[in-house]
């Protein structure tokens, strides 16, 4: 029995069965405002990119859903269904020690992601599923390949903002432990990334202040 898991701006996610396995079908939505030929090309390109990124993650030991089938005609990816709890939904029930543990794990996984040249693009606790001692990263719809410092810093900045807005009581602890885990993989490069991230935050504050003054 199909079950809709979510409908976003770009795709529909449906839980389904595939050769006896629970799976997620991710189908990119047609955009009527786009030229049909261009729309098909864009949806195919993004589908291929996401499948490639998921495969690269697997090859680098990053917990992500396994791609089982790609249908370019439908702009659809079939991947295994990850049965677990979203970090966003359970974080308030965790002990401080568990928060420290899981954010260190997350830091290592994002470090592996960046080391492999992948930018997630939407690192929020809604896109993290806890299974045992692994945190599966999901929803790579905005992801792309890059090893640019700015892109890595923006990725981590978005994560910090997500923690600040969704889990304010854990911000300092969670980000500190995330940084430790990230450093285990990326070494002293973490200092360079955090410095750039602070520059990005300052830019954001400056723009916000300018808008406020204009009003």
Please compute, for residue 29, the number of CA atoms within 13 A of its CA located in the half-sphere on the CB side.
13
How many other β-carbons are positioned within 10 Å of the β-carbon of residue 62?
A: 23
Looking only at the bridges linking them, the beta strands covering 67-71 and 144-145 are unpaired
User: DSSP letter at 157?
Assistant: H
Q: At what angle do helices 189-214 and 171-186 cross, to 10 degrees?
A: 140
CA distance 112 to 184: 10
- Please give the order of strands across the beta sheet that includes 76-80: 3-7, 11-18, 21-28, 76-80, 67-71
| Residues 63/135, Cβ–Cβ less than 8 Å | yes
- Residue 122 annotated to the active site: yes
Looking only at the bridges linking them, the beta strands covering 76-80 and 21-28 are antiparallel
Q: Kindly name the residue from 122, 133, 151, 155 that is annotated as catalytic.
A: 122
Query: What is the distance in angstroms between the CA of the first residue and the CA of the last residue of the chain?
Result: 52
As annotated, the active-site residues are: 122
């Amino acid at each position: 029995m199909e079950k809709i898991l979510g409908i976003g701006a770009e795709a529909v996610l449906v839980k389904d069965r595939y050769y006896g396995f629970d799976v997620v079908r991710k189908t990119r939505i047609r955009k009527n405002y786009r030229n049909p030929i261009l729309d098909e090309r864009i949806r195919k390109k993004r589908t291929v990119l996401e499948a490639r990124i998921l495969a690269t993650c697997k090859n680098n030991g990053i917990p992500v859903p396994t791609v089982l089938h790609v249908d370019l005609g439908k702009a659809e990816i079939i991947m295994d269904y990850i049965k677990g709890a979203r970090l966003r939904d359970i974080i308030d029930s965790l002990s401080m020690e568990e928060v420290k543990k899981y954010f260190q794990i997350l830091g290592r996984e994002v470090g592996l992601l960046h080391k492999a040249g992948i930018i997630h693009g939407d690192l929020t606790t809604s896109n993290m599923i806890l299974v045992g001692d692994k945190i599966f990263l999901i929803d790579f719809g905005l992801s792309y390949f890059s090893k640019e410092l700015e892109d890595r810093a923006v990725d981590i900045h978005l994560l910090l903002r997500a923690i600040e807005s969704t889990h304010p009581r854990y911000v300092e602890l969670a980000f500190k432990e995330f940084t430790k885990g990230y450093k285990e993989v990326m070494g002293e490069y973490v200092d360079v990334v955090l410095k750039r991230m602070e520059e990005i935050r300052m830019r954001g504050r400056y723009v916000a202040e300018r808008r406020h003054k204009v009003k």
